[in-house]
Chain A
Amino acid sequence: MPGEASTVPPLVVDHATKAYPGRRRDTVVAVDDVSFTIAPGAAVSLVGASGSGKSTIAKMITGLEKPTSGMVTFGDLSVNALHGGGLRDYHHRVQMVFQDPYGALNPLHTVEYTLTRPCVNFLGMSARDAKQRADELLETVGLTPADQFAPKLPHQLSGGQRQRVVIARALACGPGLIVADEPVSMLDVSLRAGVLKLLANLRVDHGLSLLYITHDLLSARVVTDEILVLHGGRIVERGVTKDVLQHPKDAYTVELLDAVANPYADAPAAAPTAGPVATSTAGH
């Protein structure tokens, strides 16, 4: 059931462009002539600021949007041409992890319902088998004991727990490629490592390909081997993650690196030796 590296085809984005008619009779180009390949079992990150076109690319890869020009292929399957049943079958193999843990789960459905649906739809499982698989998935993502979490509703879970459920749902049908759209940016910093480590381990265990979309360069470094830097819809830099981050060539990459608020890299505000701080801590 889990995808194996040898059976996961490469995902190729070939000169894809997405243009929308703008509000004032001009065209808004969200994605501009983007080409890249996600090799079987590879982990690639797509970094850029909001509005850079990251989400549009994610939608084109998962078939939710069609490029205005160019092609997206998964092996010899043309993703552009899919709709209806074909698109549904495609989602058996290519899944998405969403950004907002508070919006990605239907507030009225239990965790068990959310996890069993893909098993029933894609794997043709009976209700009982699906429930069992749901329990297994919960264990895999660290939500144990499974029977404690299965009947819960989303509002009873913390942000980190919800995101684990979202990942479990994406894994349920045994896909080969996962597109993770900013999966931890809405989580607390202290919770991110846990969820990202889970994602990284799952990728290795199941031989998945991973497209990790983010604006956080630190996690891109940890989770992925290759990086694509997106600015204004174009890829401005690409390469091995460590190399690109240590030796950025494009000005925008440099800007992104500078913008990372890292307490260790930047000198903090002038450390006062006397003044307001001293008087406020004394005598209260």
Chain B
Amino acid sequence: MSILSSQPPPVDTATLPEVKAKPGGQGSSLPVPVLFVGRGIRTLWSNRKARVGLILIGLFVLMAAFAPLLAPHSPTSTDFTPYQGPSSTNWFGTTGNGEDVLSQLVYGARVSLLVGLTAGVGATLVAVTLGLISGYRPGFLDEGISFVTNLALVIPGLPLMIILAAYIPSRSIWTIVLVVAFTSWATGARVIRSQATTLRTRDFVASAVFSGERPLRVVFREILPNMTSLVAASFFAASTAAVMAEASLEFLGLGNPTTVSWGTILHNAQQQNALLTGQWLLVFAPGLAIALLALSFTLVNFGVDALSNPRLREK
């Protein structure tokens, strides 16, 4: 019994080439960062889980961008009869103030996405900067930053956020963004520092030093590009956390009560005892939206893992 699934390629008269084929083929006419992102998205797309995640994110982005067109009514208008269940005018029913739930949901995507992504970017920027600085040069700076990172890791995130949000006088989305970014950078910083420490001992980093490159350039042009998948993973993880954190803060009433976001819908639902009045959609819909958005970031992260570890790539 033998396994005969395929034979080596048949003999043909092709000449033996001397040069190995290039992977992409085209000349580099586009700037490198664009090619990078392009290749990144293509690889992510080839991973099934990441593809689902990307599609979901795409849908939410569309929802947020075209909210005025998609939402049947204005989210803040209180024209409707309050405490109504689903009806032909209000597919998801109305809140205790007479607002249309579906419109709120659609517009709410804007805040969740904005806060989620912005806080994610902010946290990642801090994490990358601190992680790289402390990872590149052992010494006082490294010790100092590590200490602060460990401190930030140990302090419980949500309680800290609550305290900060409660004491900051201005109540706006940007407060939330700042607070969330401020409390989510530590894990990323730790991970990036480890990777930087590993990479800095590699010969190509020493080689760059021998080529006369200055430390800043070594860090940002030699080490960082080799960590893109790690940075991407940190970003998506931070964004996931940010989406959940933002929803939590709004739900607790620590956000601006006039903003329309999924968290405030939940907050209002709680205040108005939605579950008691039988309006489970008021809780279920925003809850599901938050969960799906967070899930989509996580799914994309599976694909990012595959970017850096070829064994996880699906064929």
A64 at the interface (CB under 8 A from B): yes
Proximity string of chain A (91-119) to chain B, C-beta cutoff 8 Å, 1 when within and 0 when not: 11001101110011111100000100110
From A92, A105, A173, B204 is in contact (CB under 8 Å) with A105
A105–B226 Cα distance when bound, in Å, is: 12
Closest approach, in angstroms, between the C-beta of B29 and any C-beta of chain A?
12
B207 at the interface (CB under 8 A from A): yes
A122 at the interface (CB under 8 A from B): yes
A265–B27 Cα distance when bound, in Å, is: 52
Q: Which of B18-26, B60-68, B79-87 lies at the interface with chain A?
A: B18-26
Closest chain B residue to A175 by CB distance? B210
Whether A99 lies near B208 (C-beta < 8 A) is no
From B23, B204, B209, A104 is in contact (CB under 8 Å) with B204
Whether A117 lies near B19 (C-beta < 8 A) is no
| Contacts of B103-126 to chain A: CB distance below 8 A | none
Q: How large is the interface on A (under 10, 10 to 19, 20 to 34, 35 or more residues)?
A: 20 to 34
A78–B188 Cα distance when bound, in Å, is: 41
Closest chain B residue to A154 by CB distance? B204
A26–B222 Cα distance when bound, in Å, is: 36
A25–B28 Cα distance when bound, in Å, is: 55
Task: Known A-B contacts: A92-B212, A96-B206. Give 12 more (CB < 8 A).
Answer: A91-B209, A91-B210, A95-B210, A103-B203, A104-B204, A104-B207, A106-B207, A117-B213, A121-B213, A122-B212, A156-B20, A169-B207
Closest chain A residue to B225 by CB distance? A108
9 contacts between A and B (CB under 8 A): A88-B212, A88-B214, A98-B206, A100-B203, A105-B204, A105-B207, A106-B222, A107-B226, A156-B22
Q: Which 4 A-B residue pairs are closest in the complex by CB-CB distance? A: A121-B212, A104-B203, A118-B211, A106-B204
Closest approach, in angstroms, between the C-beta of B16 and any C-beta of chain A?
15
Closest approach, in angstroms, between the C-beta of A177 and any C-beta of chain B?
12
Q: Which residues of A contact B210 (CB under 8 A)?
A: 62, 91, 95-96, 118, 169-170
B202 at the interface (CB under 8 A from A): yes
Q: Knowing A64-B206, A104-B204, A156-B23 touch, does A169 contact B225 (C-beta < 8 A)?
A: no
Whether B212 lies near A117 (C-beta < 8 A) is yes
Closest approach, in angstroms, between the C-beta of B85 and any C-beta of chain A?
57
Q: Which residues of A contact B28 (CB under 8 A)?
A: 151
From B20, B27, B207, A98 is in contact (CB under 8 Å) with B207
